[in-house]
A = this chain, B = another copy of it.
Amino acid sequence: MSYAALLETMGRVNDVLNAKSILSWDARTMMPPGGSVTRGKQEATLSVIAFQMLTSDDTRRELDAAEAELAARPKDSVERTIVAQVREAVQYHSRIPSDLIRRRAELGSTGQDVWAKARATNNFALFAPLLEETVALNREMAEVIGYEEHPYDALMYRFEPGETVATLRPLFARLREGLLPLVKAIGEKEQPRADFLERDYSPESQYEFALKMAQTVGYDLDRGRLDTTIHPFEISFTRNDVRITTRFSRNYMPMSLFGALHEAGHALYEQGVDPDYTRTPLATDLIGLYAVGGVSFGAHESQSRLFENHVGRAREFWDIHFPAAQAHYSDQLGDVTVEEFHRAINRCRPGLIRVEADELTYDFHVMLRVEIEAALIDGSLKVSDLPEYWNAKMHEYLGVAVPDDTHGVLQDVHWSSGQIGTFCNYTIGNVMASQLFAKAKEDGAISEGLARGDYDPLRAFMVEHVHRHGRRYSRDDLLLRATGRKLDPEPYITYLTDKYSELYGLEKEGK
């Protein structure tokens, strides 16, 4: 009975967080401009309500009673896992004074305007005081949350539980060692033609084709829809309603296509969560206070990157689907071969901007940011030294010269929201995607499916090993159960080495 009461309370917390997500989706896709005046308050009120419900005296009493009631159950039972997650969340939130939450929210609400102005006018000095404050506040946050080795660990916990500066260091070192030679070797090679990607593609025709490809990999429109937005995202309101968005550049078609495949990958995760977990903590992030079924941001990113890159940028995908692309875009792709198309959508060109980076250089943008955040938090890097540090690292990693801060340290919105600790999941996702994809392809039925354009066997593997579990297991436990290993960069390095060696005719070095 106590456990049932706790579950019902958590169901209502989930309802409120889903409601907040619906408001957020609406604000980013449908809301008329004037609506922003009061929408912020509405979202904030729902956040406060969810927080209060989770940490109330009533909930604590239900939690105590549920723990007592379930004491005889196995520790790894679903019931005890749920109760343990609620306990952990209640403790986590109890450590953070409400004053700190309020100050961060205030910082976030002023930060975005200041950052936008600083970026538009290439004026880092304008943003620097706010960033100083953000760092100080997050340092304070790290101290109250607690950590064993590095204060940055406390900040990453909300997004990628278990990941630490100590675990990331060898991972990043291995990636640099494995990938930098490829980046350098490609720099000496001729680039494929890609002019046809920049022809005039109408947004309407892009919408149709992007949605068709999302459905092709399994995105279920009975429980989803595709809309247009400025910064694409996936968002879910339980597994029964999982929406994706993309954006359209008239003169760069891949943006909508791979944007939609990326978000569809996220969506497949949420659509695949066990229905029994609906409205439970196994489909609610009680630490981040966000209604999501995926177990970590990195795990989520693994699914988006898997369907965007391993599936959607593969030669075998386009061997099947390029005729449909050509039929759909006859004016733009009529004179293009599948090989040209495949090479064009996989061009590797070191650049300045993270969100425009290709598969091979993307992680260097991430490493740079993670290293900077950790150094800012532990005090080894000063905000005032940041632009110089940024530009030096960009040159070291990718050999590019940063012309100004607008195209450098001011490019990302993240820090203006008051948030630090959110970047590592992009690389974790890439690594994890390769690990899962390599394992899946060992199954002949899956490989054969991919070769003939049937993605059901692959998706069934992901549902079985990842999606359905929701937040039942930690990210590394998921990986262990699915692949026999915790997070492991080797399949990723192998994948990129093979892929880019073939695309650019590189000689493979012995690994």
Contact = CB atoms under 8 A, between A and B. Distances in A.
A33 B42 CA distance: 26
A323 interface: no
Interface in A23-44: 23, 26, 30-39, 41-42, 44
Given A12-B49, A19-B20, 16 more contacts: A11-B41, A12-B45, A15-B44, A15-B46, A16-B45, A16-B46, A16-B49, A19-B45, A22-B26, A30-B225, A34-B222, A35-B237, A35-B240, A38-B238, A39-B237, A39-B241
Contacts of A32: 221-225, 241, 243
Contacts of A224: 32, 34
A342 interface: no
Contacts of A243: 32
A18 interface: yes
Nearest to A227: B30
A281 to B, nearest CB: 16
Contacts of A44: 15
A393 interface: no
Interface residues on A, range: 35 or more
A453 to B, nearest CB: 25
A423 to B, nearest CB: 31
A278 interface: yes
A42 B18 CA distance: 7
A30 B227 CA distance: 10
A38 to B, nearest CB: 4
A181 to B, nearest CB: 46
Contacts of A49: 12, 16, 49
A315 interface: no
A238 B243 CA distance: 25
A37 B225 contact: no
Contacts of A34: 220, 222-224, 240-241
Interface string A223-257: 11100000000000110110100000000000000
A41 B23 contact: no
Interface of A: 11-12, 15-16, 18-20, 22-23, 26, 30-39, 41-42, 44-46, 48-49, 220-225, 237-238, 240-241, 243, 278-279
Nearest to A48: B12
The winner among A23, A26, A32, A48 for most chain B CB atoms within 10 A is: A32
Contacts of A39: 237, 241
A46 B222 CA distance: 25
A334 to B, nearest CB: 29
A237 B40 CA distance: 12
A42 B23 contact: no
Contacts of A42: 15, 18-19, 22, 237
A229 to B, nearest CB: 14
A16 B49 CA distance: 9
8 contacts: A12-B49, A15-B41, A19-B20, A32-B223, A32-B225, A35-B240, A37-B238, A38-B238
B38 A237 contact: yes
Contacts of A37: 238, 240
A222 B42 CA distance: 19
A35 B223 contact: yes
Nearest to A17: B42
A67 to B, nearest CB: 25
B279 A41 contact: yes
B46 A18 contact: no
B23 A38 contact: no
A238 B39 CA distance: 9
Nearest to A44: B15
Nearest to A291: B42
Contacts of A48: 12
A23 B46 CA distance: 13
A12 to B, nearest CB: 5
A84 B225 CA distance: 45
B38 A278 contact: yes
Contact of A38 (B16, B35, B240): B240
Contacts of A45: 11-12, 15-16, 19
A49 B15 CA distance: 11
A237 B32 CA distance: 11
Contacts of A33: 222-223
Contacts of A237: 35, 38-39, 42
A243 B34 CA distance: 12
Contacts of A241: 31-32, 34-35, 38-39
A189 to B, nearest CB: 45
Contacts of A26: 22, 26
